[in-house]
Each structure stands twice: as C-alpha cells, then as structure tokens.
C-alpha cells in the first residue's frame, strides 16, 4: 500500500487519509457515484442537496471574504456574493504592490505625507510577529 496524502487521492475513487498527529495513513476505495443521479440513488436527494448547499455557501462566503480581505467595499462584496455561481472560477486581479500603491496616492495628492507615515506604520505593525 503506497502512502498518499488527502489531496492526491481524491479523483479516481481512491481516498487516502494521513493523520498528521499519529503518522498513520489508510487508503481505500469509496464511490459517491459518478453522476448526480447515481449520487442521489446512493445517498438520497436530501443528502446530496444538503452537501451541495453547504459547499456552495462556503464557496460564496470565501469569495465575498476575499473581496473584503483585499479592502473592497461592502457594496462590492455583496455584489460578488449576489453574482456568485457555484463551480464558476472567477479571476481576480493580481495584487498590487502596497508600497507602490501608497506612493502613487501621495503623487496624486490623495494622501499626505503624514497619512503615508501612518499607513506605513500600520502595515509594519501587521507584519511584526506577536
């Protein structure tokens, strides 16, 4: 039996589980059905829907949280939640360099030197280990 991690063994019906706490691993085959009708036949419509609903809710929350974590507005976060479609991957912009962004704001007159200093102190405080 080859040792597999949880991530490697999820596509072909083979499930691998590794306990990081004990170092013990197991591998076994488990079918959840190959199609939606098969899953419903195996587990029932309520179970299949409840699992879908739970995972869709978690994915939607994650999308909205990502907007908020990047400093997006509440309105933008709500819009992302309302437009969320399970299974649809949305690409977000590459994160901007926060220092370059602050410098741009100073150059454009949107941030004073005092505000820049406060922002830099706040960012440094976030980076310092507790």
Model confidence pLDDT, tens digit, residues 111-121: 888 988 888 88
pLDDT at 43 over 80: yes
Given a contact cutoff of 8 angstroms between Cβ atoms, the answer to whether 81 and 64 are in contact is yes
Are 67 and 17 contained in the same domain?
no
Are 88 and 39 contained in the same domain?
yes
Are 25 and 75 contained in the same domain?
no
Q: How many domains, in total, are found in the chain?
A: 3
Are 73 and 45 contained in the same domain?
yes
- Distance between CA 65 and CA 62 in Å, rounded? 5
Q: Residue 2's pLDDT band (boundaries 50, 70, 90)?
A: very low
Q: In the numeric block, which tokens belong to residue 76?
A: 């933008």
Are 67 and 25 contained in the same domain?
no
Q: What average pLDDT does the segment 4-24 reach?
A: 74
Are 43 and 76 contained in the same domain?
yes
Poorest-pLDDT segment among 39-48, 88-97, 100-109: 88-97
Domain hosting 14: range is 1-30
30 Cβ partners below 8 Å, 6+ apart? 13, 15
Given a contact cutoff of 8 angstroms between Cβ atoms, the answer to whether 25 and 40 are in contact is no
Are 46 and 86 contained in the same domain?
yes
Are 53 and 84 contained in the same domain?
yes
Q: Residue 68's pLDDT band (boundaries 50, 70, 90)?
A: very high
Model confidence pLDDT, tens digit, residues 73-96: 999 999 999 999 988 776 655 556
Model confidence pLDDT, tens digit, residues 15-40: 999 999 999 999 999 999 999 999 99
What are residue 48's phi and psi, to 5 degrees? -65, -45
130 in any annotated domain: no
Are 25 and 1 contained in the same domain?
yes
Are 16 and 66 contained in the same domain?
no
The pTM for the full model equals 0.55
Residue owning tokens 């691998």:
16
76 Cβ partners below 8 Å, 6+ apart? 67
């Amino acid at each position: 039996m080859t040792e597999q991690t949880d991530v490697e063994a999820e596509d072909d019906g083979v499930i691998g589980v590794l306990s990081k706490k004990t170092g013990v691993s197991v591998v076994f085959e488990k079918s959840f059905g190959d199609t939606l009708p098969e899953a419903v036949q195996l587990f029932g419509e309520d179970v299949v829907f409840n699992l879908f609903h739970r995972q869709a809710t978690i994915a939607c929350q994650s999308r909205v949280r990502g907007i908020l974590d990047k400093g997006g507005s509440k309105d933008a976060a709500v819009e992302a939640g309302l437009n969320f479609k399970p299974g649809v991957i949305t690409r977000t912009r590459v994160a901007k360099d926060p220092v370059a962004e602050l410098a741009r704001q100073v150059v454009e007159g949107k941030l004073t030197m005092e505000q820049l200093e406060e922002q830099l102190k706040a960012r440094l405080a976030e980076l310092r280990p507790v």
